Amino acid sequence: MVQIIQKVNLQDAISHLMHLAPNKKNLLITGATVVDAYSEYQADVLVEDGTIKQIGDIDANSPVEIINASALYLTPGLIDCHVHLILNGSPNIVDYVQTKSDSELTAIATANAIRTLQNGVTTVRDMGGKNFIELKVRDAVNSSAIPGPRILASGKMITSIGGHVRYIGREAHGAEDCRRAVREQIENGADFIKVMATGGLLTEDVEHEGIELTAEELAAAVDEAKKYEMKSAAHAHGLAGIKNAINAGVDSIEHGSFANKEAVERMTASGIFWIPTLKSLRDILDDDIGSNLSKDCRQRARSSLNAVRKALKYCTKNTKIACGTDAGTPYNYHGENSIELELLVEYGLDTHQAFESATTTAANLLGLGSRIGLVREGYDADLLLLRKNPLDDIRSFRKSLVEVIRSGSPLLKNKIY
């Protein structure tokens, strides 16, 4: 049989690739109701070179792509402060990361990044991957080789010898080795540092509430990160680990399940961000989808969820709760990120606080509060158009998303995917 090999026209290939690149044409969004954490008003919004150039009553006087949004709500793109791009929701994470090749994980992480963006999340903080794959995906997005959300990534999770996530993390022992581990992540291009203060739900041979890195090790890692002006995030379920992380001066506590009143008050007083990752726990406990997991894992999820429900009651308006899903963990799929906002409301936050958790609060945690998280002149044009006001119904991000604009490019309208 004669096989006909299709000749690839180089020009076609290049133009196809260019199609993936951010749209550099100016964009005028007319008549939208602008909704961000601080204000709500009707205006036109002009975007130039990926930045919000002007907000007001604007006439298009130069070539510009126009979106008539008079019946729509314009919000900042969502920020998810806790995802794992290389993970795909598989129930057996240990097997999954040990058997998938780096090439497979790169393809999966790329697809997950695209799916995340398609669903309205324009920035993610990747909280730990394998072999720095997710940093390469970040770089590919930054160079416009692939579409995706803005990605900040921690590189390898720093854990104790034999500790939680050791199969992909960087095992460290002693303060000096923790400092070395921090420098390794920075050398490989990490944007911030992730340390494991306690065990976790998915490493069954360690106690999920038990201490992993010691107080001294955490303090050394955080101190080393600060030397390089890097932020630190601590994974912590149990109370002792949460306290150690607070004492070490981390910028954020991930999960924080068993925080007591005093711990929440200390987080609030010292401005430490808290990412409760409710969706990861709920998906494990969902009878329809999580029942393939071990009894032990589900029991850990149940006790953590009961504890975090209690802990959230100690929050005040000044507690900095940031939205994070832990997307990629069992049955917790990328692209479903905005469900976390619905859960935060279900667990006691008001709609406005939930909205802030994925916009202004999250942007501040990332150190990007003057660039993203608000619809303001001079801010990056990472925007969403919705049919319903999310402050009336937070499910709007999931149920009535019409358009995702990333760096000034309307992705769905132009069928970038």
- Residues near Zn ion (CB under 5 A) are 127, 326
Question: What is d(CA 263, CA 313) in angstroms, rounded to the nearest whole number?
Answer: 12
Q: Secondary structure of 24-52 in the HEC alphabet?
A: CCCEEEEEEEEECCCCEEEEEEEEECCEE
In the bound state with Zn ion, the residue whose beta carbon lies nearer, of 85 and 394, is: 85
* Minimum CB–partner distance for residue 249 and Zn ion (Å): 21
Residue 198 near residue 161, CB atoms below 8 Å: no
* Minimum CB–partner distance for residue 87 and Zn ion (Å): 9
Cα atoms in the Cβ-side hemisphere of radius 13 Å centred on 321 = 32
* Minimum CB–partner distance for residue 24 and Zn ion (Å): 35
* Minimum CB–partner distance for residue 38 and Zn ion (Å): 30
97 contact partners, CB below 8 Å, separation of at least 6: 86, 87, 105, 130, 167, 168
In the bound state with Zn ion, the residue whose beta carbon lies nearer, of 52 and 108, is: 108
Bridge pairing between strands 121-126 and 40-48: unpaired
What is the DSSP secondary structure assignment for residue 110, as one 8-state letter? H
* Minimum CB–partner distance for residue 126 and Zn ion (Å): 9
* Minimum CB–partner distance for residue 417 and Zn ion (Å): 26
What is the radius of gyration, based on Cα positions, of the chain? 21
Structure token digits, residue 132: 């720095």
In the bound state with Zn ion, the residue whose beta carbon lies nearer, of 129 and 373, is: 129
Q: Secondary structure of 237-264 in the HEC alphabet?
A: CCHHHHHHHHHHCCCEEEECCCCCHHHH
In the bound state with Zn ion, the residue whose beta carbon lies nearer, of 328 and 373, is: 328
- Measured at CB, which residue is nearest to Zn ion? 326
In the bound state with Zn ion, the residue whose beta carbon lies nearer, of 166 and 406, is: 166
Residue 236 near residue 198, CB atoms below 8 Å: yes
Structure token digits, residue 83: 């995802």
In the bound state with Zn ion, the residue whose beta carbon lies nearer, of 37 and 322, is: 322
In the bound state with Zn ion, the residue whose beta carbon lies nearer, of 147 and 276, is: 276
Of 64, 24, 21, the C-alpha closest to 45 is 64
In the bound state with Zn ion, the residue whose beta carbon lies nearer, of 127 and 234, is: 127
Question: What is d(CA 407, CA 413) in angstroms, rounded to the nearest whole number?
Answer: 14
Question: What is d(CA 211, CA 57) in angstroms, rounded to the nearest whole number?
Answer: 57
Structure token digits, residue 318: 């000044």
* Minimum CB–partner distance for residue 230 and Zn ion (Å): 18
262 contact partners, CB below 8 Å, separation of at least 6: none
* Minimum CB–partner distance for residue 202 and Zn ion (Å): 9
